[in-house]
Structure 1
Amino acid sequence: MTPEILALQAIGWPVAAGETLPAEPAWRELLAAHPQARPVRVVEQHRSGYVVADGPDSGFPVESLPQWQRPPGYRKGTVTIDQRPGVGDWLLIEGRKAVALLPRRSAIKRGAAGEHYQQQLIAANVDTVFIVCGLDADFNPRRIERYLLLVRGGAEPVVVLTKADQAVGSNDHAVSVALAALVELAAQDIAVRAVNAKDADSVAALSAWLRPGRTAVLVGSSGAGKSTLTNTLLGVDKMKTAAVREHDARGRHTTTHRALIPLPSGACLIDTPGMRELKPTGEEDVAENFSDIEALTEQCKFRDCAHAREPGCAVRAAIEAGKLDPQRFANYLKLRDEVAGAANKLANRRAESAAAKVQGKAPNKRPDEKYGRH
């Protein structure tokens, strides 16, 4: 195997031992279509462009394709926000110019802020999503459920509860809530690890998901300990950190942009700024994330049960028996409605896009085809 391929493997290039090309047919086709191009990975994304790497110790800017820089809807050929490269993506470049974006193996996205429907890419081509939440006033089971809803497409979610050192011996209500959440998430086969983000021995609990060639992304609110966790995994204080506010444990934005960082373990880690707004895209599967509630709805006496005052409601019975957290059920209803609303906006956007394409092709037709015969 060439030194170039070994360097790419160190930042996640998905090739099997002894191979030089990825197994994905679409990737091979693009590589064959651009024989003079070479693959690189996006390690930083800024408003002015992208920084890419072809190995763990490299990083240089590239010239973007024009459609990646234009505002959405600017003119024909412009792509949407989620169709543009993001941290974790693989590009083909010739010299210092990008020529193609390789198809994503996985993507973590959210609905972008604003009235108009858009999707925002958080990270691409990741194997694991570490959902980071502090065992202090930052702890919020409902927020964790919202993050879990966004994880799909081949990536494995792992809930990382930081600040375990602060929780030991504490009678704080957040600790008891966290322990209850541990049982709930474990029942869904979602791994949960409580760590002291400042202690390398404690953070070693995450090593199973940070093997060579793997890529993980850290998501969570500001002050949850993502940058501290990154520094401990690196073994050096590379990422800026700051103390949370004492009265509410809210953090400050110390990470200002997404960045992919090679780890000593051979894995890659994507650190992200704290996110306080997590809007669904409309492509999420609520039933998959709330399988326990969905199973209960199948036991209701009436198929159209609204789970309010109907007789024979299995959901209400589970809540009254203490087997289902009423706040979890309320969050299920809330997220179900949000996803349905986003899905409707997504369908409308796709319909408008299809209509625009048809209209754009109309001038190429003969006048009698375009306007009809008279």
Structure 2
Amino acid sequence: MTRKIIHVDMDAFFASVEQRDDPALRGRPVAVGSAQGRGVVAAASYEARVFGVRSAMPSVTALRRCPDLIFVPHRFDVYRAVSQQIRAIFLDYTPLVEPLSLDEAYLDVTDNRRGLPSATATAAEIRARILRDTGLTASAGISYNKFLAKLASERNKPDGQFVITPAAGPAFVAALEVGRFHGIGPRTAERMARLGIFTGADLRDRDLAFLQSHFGKSGAWYHAIARGEDHRAVTPDRPRKSSGSETTFSTDLTDRAEIEAAACRMADDVWRWCERSGGRGRTVTVKATWADFRKVTRSRSFPAPVPDLPALHDAARGLVGALFPLRAGIRLIGVTLSGLETEEPPQTMLDLLPA
């Protein structure tokens, strides 16, 4: 049976909530985050995006691009509550809802609970209900698999939807630049360019053996999506795979003791989640961002789950030590525990906050 998959993506979600709740912000460039020190843009309204302001951009850069940018502090409790409203709407149509974050999810509506005649009609009704109940707009992509549905949801943003049929799927992928594929980041796109792969058609023309020789385990995935193939099911209540926390410093750190102390504070955040959820993980990762914004990670995997907070502290300090001697000052440090074995209920849309 051909699946009917919808990818619903809220439009500039955090910023749109702020504009909804404060009429003075409507029609103006808005960024959720902090303009102070080394603040980072968590979300940008469409009015701000016109100037090139994007999420994860340093606030100082955003203000250079848009001097009239208005910064508002985040209100994650409000975003969670709105996300809960949206999830309730989804569940009126299908039990097969796979949240990706607070503001997007996959829905399998092959058999929809309301008996609507098509996935297109279902997506339109869901978007209308979201607007009616929350005052916010959503965009949707409709296709026969998750990969194409997510690509489709970007085509008519904001407040639109787009369909990629089984007949149109391969041609749609062939015409697309590989840098637009989800799962192909800038570095992989650069590697592909060096191999003469610029579009989906170029990727399709490489055989499986070639892709596996150059991209390892990912080669089979690239071989499939280049042909519009993705057999992943929509999986509700995905088990959580990791827990992490990070912080950006007001000034670059070079002192090892200060960096280790910051890493331990991030480990404290991670361990609080472990205690609350009953989760335990085997792999500890420290992420650092240098003063020039280059990133580095160091990881260590253990034969058994990390047993307690002191052990997590020890692992984090050891991984910080692996960063020395420093190539530059450190502006950000993060700690993640992965390879989780958890007793917590599977995560929902409300649990997925930005790092």
For this structure pair, what is the TM-score category when the shorter chain's length is used for normalisation? under 0.3
> Which is higher, the Rg of structure 1 or of structure 2?
1
How high is the TM-score relative to the length of structure 2? 0.23
- Structure with bigger helix share is 2
Q: Structure 1 length normalisation: TM-score?
A: 0.22
